[in-house]
Structure 1
């Protein structure tokens, strides 16, 4: 069996999560960044994992388009869906808004992995807004956004159980 991970992100958090998934999935894995790579024929894969970041409340357009373009093929395979979002507490809402309902229903695993604010990679305006978010969280004694590695691991374990 083989697995394809298809993703799109903005500042590297999604890529970090994809790298972790790649090392934890038991099957051979091919990774496609929708911003840079050509999507291969999905019939070559038994399992597809799709993931992307939520940016200012919006899911990556490239991921949405991929899901729309390949809806029937995705429903014929084992499927995992994830998002990376700094507002971890809104994961369920963001998942419902990001993916078509029929894919969410079909998916073997779906999760939010949290997110992080990596200021060094950000453009000026994004960096400015991230600093405001960080200061606000600190004033309210809220934790800063972070990747929930336990969610990545649980997602991988669920996918591995269904790859057999």
Structure 2
């Protein structure tokens, strides 16, 4: 009796596993009408690379979930590389969070940058204050969709 119950359990589990694999295989064969090719974001001094996070219907302002780069020196060059997704000019939004002893201020800037022949867009960045860690949030927009990433500018690593 015990052997028969074990065989039934094994048959049941095997059936569930086969059904799960079939469902996963069938659902992954549908091709998306638009394939998103994410740009590669890096800091010139470190070469560390990240991909921005994609938001289809606008950004949710949850900064902790963003891919992040960290400045090593007081200034660096932010490099954005993409195959051919960028037009000749790329628009990048920046929200820079600077702090004084008593307050924090967000400075919003929009940059229109020309793509270089190697498909890289370069943006010089630098730490602005000297009171506490600062951060900058960067946005690449395409209609309602957003590609978003963050750069941390720590106070302890300034030159």
Provide TM-score, normalisation by structure 1.
0.24
Question: Which protein has the larger Cα radius of gyration, Structure 1 or Structure 2?
Answer: 2
Of Structure 1 and Structure 2, which has the larger fraction of its residues in strand?
A: 2
More helix by share: 1
